[in-house]
Amino acid sequence: MLAAGTLLLTSFGALIGSAQQGTDPLMKHLTGRLTTIDKQKPVLIAVTPGGGAGQAKELKIAGGPAMMKDVRVERLDVHALDFVYDAAKLTKESDLAVKSVGKFYMHAEVSAAALTDRVTAGKNTKELSATVSFDDGKAIIRGNFKYSFIRGNFEALLTPSIRKNNQIVFSIDKLKVLSIPAPKLARRKLQEKMTPLDMGDLVGAPRIDDLRIEGDRMKVTGGKPF
């Protein structure tokens, strides 16, 4: 309970400090890339300054749901010690270049519902209805569409994986439209809708090394909690 209270107070102080001074590039970066969705469940951000510019003795992020740039996460936890970054580059270019991290842990959860919203978003998808679900480590998309006078259904099977740059990509194993294998153009358009999910943009994360699907959540993790 004490630890939770300390985190809340530290987060509040850090947020107020950054709002008043606007001088901390790391806090500005974090608050600019995280948007709380539910005001009753705010994302808490705590940064303990280190010995100089570009140094954070400790960094903590906890909460959700939230938008992490263009990716909706239902849960996000980040914990880092001795976090050293290029302050000048972050200030001038809004690019978080991490020089070194003593300890690091990150865990994020993306729901099937969030991916459904991603697939059906956009001005060219008014005549498209679809639902994303997970099964046996795969993402399954089923839906209906209307194009001119043509109506029909489609089904896709995709496999998620992690790139070296901490982006989640979905490779299409199967895509059928009206029970017929879809052409390359349709496959490419669907893949553009789904990928990439950039999980490293927020804190320039070291290698995210685990991706697993549990229930209606896709969970990605880097490091171990400490």
What single-letter amino acid sits at 49?
P
Output the CA angle 226-168-134, nearest 5 degrees. 95
CA distances from 46 to 80, 81, 198 (A): 11, 12, 22
Decide which of 146 and 172 is more confident. 172
Residue 64 in tokens: 């959700």
* pTM for the whole structure: 0.82
pLDDT digits (tens, 9 = 90+) for 167-191: 999 999 999 998 899 888 888 888 8
For the chain, which residues make up each domain, given as ranges?
2-111+199-223, 113-197
pLDDT at 205 over 80: no
Paired residues of 160 in beta bridges: 170
The percent of residues above 70 in pLDDT, for the chain, comes to 87
- How far, in Å, CA of 42 to CA of 22, rounded? 21
pLDDT digits (tens, 9 = 90+) for 79-111: 999 999 999 999 999 888 899 999 999 999 999
The pLDDT of residue 12 is 39
CA distances from 210 to 99, 196, 221 (A): 23, 16, 5
Decide which of 79 and 16 is more confident. 79
> What confidence category does residue 13 fall into, taking pLDDT thresholds of 50, 70 and 90?
very low
What are phi and psi for residue 187, nearest 5 degrees?
A: -65, -40
If we measure between CA atoms, which residue out of 107, 42, 33, 36 comes closest to residue 70? 33
What are phi and psi for residue 192, nearest 5 degrees?
A: -65, -35
Residue 159 in tokens: 């496999």
User: Look-up: residue for tokens 């705590």?
Assistant: 46
